Structure 1
Amino acid sequence: MTNSTWTLDKAHSEIEFSIRHMMISRVKGAFRDFDAEIEADPADLTTAKIQFSIDIASIDTGNEDRDNHLRSADFFEVEKYPKLTFTSTSIEKQGDDYAVTGDVSMHGVTKPETFTVTSGGVVKDPMSGAQKAGFSVEGKIKRSDYGLTWNAPLETGGVLVSDEVKINMEIQASKAE
């Protein structure tokens, strides 16, 4: 098979993250507005071309005050840096999964990052008749690598917000006709 164009199915896709808070628990959140350009053969992702764009202002942690703080100059500074982007640069098969490496651009900084992608397979949608492909994505980044360094020390030692951010994505895409 050769690469085909796939359109992101936003109704069945999500981008979530979690970060350790006060060294004792995890706070989770999501980005609600994102898009992707995918050229791929789901049976062999090694030749795929993947681009993601996330509207940072769409951050949603379930707490409006926290979301507004994350949008502020203390963190993402969305007025100046409204997008987070990812462009794949290499993809390697690793067992049943893929190591997808690409350039992450956020907060005025671009760095290579690698994510683990697991293919969920391809099926025919019984409602639309379209071919659908599913992918699960996992990875970690350090927010300090992108200049997101705001923090507060804790009385007991440690900091309010960890540097490591875990990223999980569930992606469903439709084959373009």
Structure 2
Amino acid sequence: MTKWNIDVTHTNVGFAVRHMMVSNVRGNFTGIEGTVDGDPNNLTDAKIHFNIDTSTINTSNEDRDNHLRSDDFFDVEKYPNITFDSTDIVETGEDEYDVTGDLTIKGVNKKITFKVTRTGSGKNPWGVEVVGFEAEGKVSRKEFGLTWNQTLETGGVLVGDDIKITIELQVNPA
């Protein structure tokens, strides 16, 4: 199997969550590392691994980011990483896959399936082959112990439960 590294300078792991039942808060993590072991042109036999440094959460609001790092949410002192390891990859169309794997957040492990699209490949200016992907998934934050919330006077809650995850990534040969 060929090993490919995630190119962190061309990768974004983003998320969106409902705020006050009316808008979305978006953010991302900047501390990402990972590998694809296998053929990125045909993922069906590949093994994918991600490791995300939870302290690198960024929502463009320092107070909110610090709250997200606290034990109300990610508790980065105790749980410094989010991990994902693929367990099954099924081709669903041309350059499209369902990638299922074990997602671990705050010590809680759950199966999640990402819809993945291979967006292209080519050689960078230094002659190195690169391959791009986009992935989407959704998780319930409560299932991972991220339960902090506040009830609003008008009804509803401050933070929604569903977290939409979007990943744009590029891999390079190791």
Q: Give the TM-score band, short-chain normalised.
A: over 0.9
What SS does structure 1 have at the residue aligned with 2:155? coil
Equivalent in the alignment of 1:15: 13
Equivalent in the alignment of 2:74: 76
CA distance in 2, matches of 1:148, 1:38: 28
CA distance in 2, matches of 1:63, 1:45: 37
Equivalent in the alignment of 2:2: 4
CA distance in 2, matches of 1:23, 1:120: 33
What SS does structure 2 have at the residue aligned with 1:41? coil
Deviation at 1:42, TM superposition (A): 2.1
Q: Aligned Cα RMSD in Å?
A: 0.9
For each residue in 1:132-154, what CA deviation from the matched residue of structure 2 results, as whole angstroms up to 9, or x when unmatched? 00000111011001011000011
Equivalent in the alignment of 1:164: 162
For each residue in 1:23-63, what CA deviation from the matched residue of structure 2 results, as whole angstroms up to 9, or x when unmatched? 00000001010100211212211101000000000000000
CA distance in 1, matches of 2:52, 2:40: 23
- Give 4+ residue runs of structure 1 displaced > 6 Å after superposition: none
What residue ranges of structure 2 are gaps of 5+ in the alignment? none
Identity of aligned residues (%): 51
Q: 2:49 aligns with which of 33, 45, 51?
A: 51
**Contact 1:124–1:130 (Cα < 8 Å) also in 2:** yes
What residue ranges of structure 1 are gaps of 5+ in the alignment? none
**Contact 1:118–1:137 (Cα < 8 Å) also in 2:** yes
What SS does structure 2 have at the residue aligned with 1:75? coil
CA distance in 2, matches of 1:18, 1:71: 16
